[in-house]
Amino acid sequence: MENLESDLLRTFVAVAQAGSVTDGAARIYRSQSATSIQIKRLEAVLGRPVFERHGRGMILTETGRRLLPVAMDVTARLDATLRSIANPPVEGKLSLGIPDDHGREKLAQIVADFSRDQPGIELNVTCSLSAGFPEALRRGALDLAIYEVEAVSPSEELLIEDPTCWVSSAERDFTDVEPLPVALFDEACWWRDAAIASLEAHGRPYRIVYSSQSVLGVLAAVRAGMAIGLLGRSSLDAGLLVLTDAMSFGPTPTSKLVMKSKGAARTDAIDAMRQTIRRAFHAA
């Protein structure tokens, strides 16, 4: 009986997460042809396919869906073991800022992975509105922070991009409502300026009926049918309706989630956390 080689599992995970052989190959620094050969070898070992073609991409078969969590666990454990053996233990303290809207999804994973790999580091986490994180980094109150920007600077590392759009509750029609009720982020957030610019380009009367510091706050107002709101597509769910195309609003930006450390600081603790954050976000 043949064995499942870790290299085959790693290739499989990369393609599954990327959604295509081409993008999966780029993640593991292999050629497209070499990646395809690895997937075929894996399928030969299993005796059944793990992917089926869907348009220009790939989707998992039932076998692929069963294999994916196992493959992810095996490769993560191997990586963690290598790091623990190859890298000397790091000690010290680290202050991390992570935005509340992204933090709920990722914080548990980041903390669990980091504490497992770096048990000697005392971690202090601030999970809140990220508008103040750049200033906290400048003052040294945070060692490392994740926050959203409209444009990425050379000192910031891009993690993910999230297109924005106008949305409403699927239960309420705002077509003939004037002035148009709007829920916005507060004045400390650049999203507010982007939203107002889009509304002004739309040319329809509007009034701000709700302001919030967080995505959860704007979502609550939108879901309740109180107002429309500008949100990232990653925040949408089945109860929301995208309005951008139907109502001819002005263009809205793509939000960019970035990571930055204080000043030019690059300690072992910061580097270790950077690697953990990259794995958490890139795995998505």
Q: What is the pLDDT of residues 223-271, one digit of tens each?
A: 999 999 999 888 888 889 998 766 788 888 888 889 999 876 667 888 8
- pTM equals 0.63
In degrees, rounded to 5, the angle at the alpha carbon of residue 163 between the alpha carbons of residues 204 and 64 is 140
Residues 131 and 171 in one domain: no
pLDDT band at 1 (very low <50, low <70, confident <90, very high): low
Does 110 fall in a domain?
A: yes
Residue 248 lies in a domain: yes
Q: What is the pLDDT of residues 105-114, one digit of tens each?
A: 677 788 888 8
Same domain, 146 and 186: no
In this structure, are 219 and 278 located in the same domain?
A: no
Domain assignment of residue 155, yes or no: no
In this structure, is residue 156 part of a structural domain? Answer: no
How far apart CA 262 and CA 142 sit, in angstroms, is 7
229 belongs to a structural domain: yes
**CATH classification at residue 25:** 1.10.10.10
Instruction: Classify 88 as helix, strand or coil.
Output: coil
Expressed as residue numbers, the domain containing 104 is 92-150+257-282
Handedness of CA 109, 132, 184, 165 (dihedral sign): negative
